[in-house]
Structure 1
Amino acid sequence: MTLKKSTSLALVALAVSFCIGCSSKEDREKYDYYYGSGSKSREEAALVTLQNERRNQPEPVRAPATTSPAASGTETGKTGDSTSAAGSSGSATGAAAAGTASAGAAPAANAAPKRKPIPADVSALLNKHACLACHQAYDKVIGPAYAEVAKRKYTADQIVELVHAPKPEHWPGYPPMAPFPQVPKAEIVVIANWINSL
């Protein structure tokens, strides 16, 4: 008798698990798109797009290190010997060189914002929780760059909520982030404060 009851209960449990597992075709397609084989193709496409964007960006112009033209002109003027005329023409040449150096430095400053290094404690937390697999400080990978997140002006508490229960509608065009409820709030706050400092 016990065997018949346990067999029937096992069959019922098997039928229920089968019904739960077989959701609608649309749900299965969505799951496959975001987490199954579709996610691999989207990740590969995103990486190819990122590599193409990096190739198409112009190289930043770096100004050569030069000595201060004012310092070289004052030193030659103070000597008082017959090379003062050459010193003044040299300072004119130095001023022209400084003009081209500052002209070259201005586009470089406008081309790319200064990138701050990731502090060691934040880097340790990002590695511990595998955040860097999808996010980088300044570059788009799978998810948005942390600098882009900083532009949204989320509070630390909002970032904690978004890590524990992501809202894909906040970031259309990106694959939805998986929830990370296991990450302690205190550690997310450390990461969130760094994000907001970018």
Structure 2
Amino acid sequence: MTFTFIAILAFALLALCFGLLLGYAAIKFKVQSDPLVDQIDQILPQTQCGQCGYPGCRPYAEAIANGDEINKCPPGGDATIKELADLMGVDAKPLDAAHGVEDVKKVAYIREDECIGCTKCIQACPVDAIIGAAKHMHTVIIDECTGCDLCVDPCPVDCIDMLPLTQSTESWQWRFEKMTVGDIPIKQV
């Protein structure tokens, strides 16, 4: 046997041992998440805007599960508060004005002729809805934008506007009340 073959065999055995060890550790030390937190997180709008005082929707869901108020999410508005109240078995409260007001869904719009390609808006976007490259103009993927407004402040040339999203046949989504067909729940869109 050559030295190269022995080295390759040694690395293969070492990789196999580490793979088995990591696989065992992943099963043995798996962290179980709270199913209530998962349900609350699914109800929240996933804007990751931080208007509730938490860095994202998942930390806010954990706080709600631990007893925090359910009325701190302006992007979710009254519909989210009502759904959270139903889930948690508490009374629905009006939106806490200290965290903002519910308004029309907005999306970011970059005036591309003014964009200098600094990438600061890309770095600020929590959902990667802005595309572009350094020193080139950027644009917003409207279907991905959550309207969190976090990209506006970092822009050094103030070329980002938050525009209301008009309803059209492409952007319309039906909202169903909680219903069941037989024993099968219909998920709210």
Work out whether the TM-score is over 0.5: no
Q: Normalising by structure 2, what TM-score? A: 0.29
Q: Normalising by structure 1, what TM-score? A: 0.28
Q: Which has more radius of gyration?
A: 1
Higher strand share: 2
Higher helix share: 1
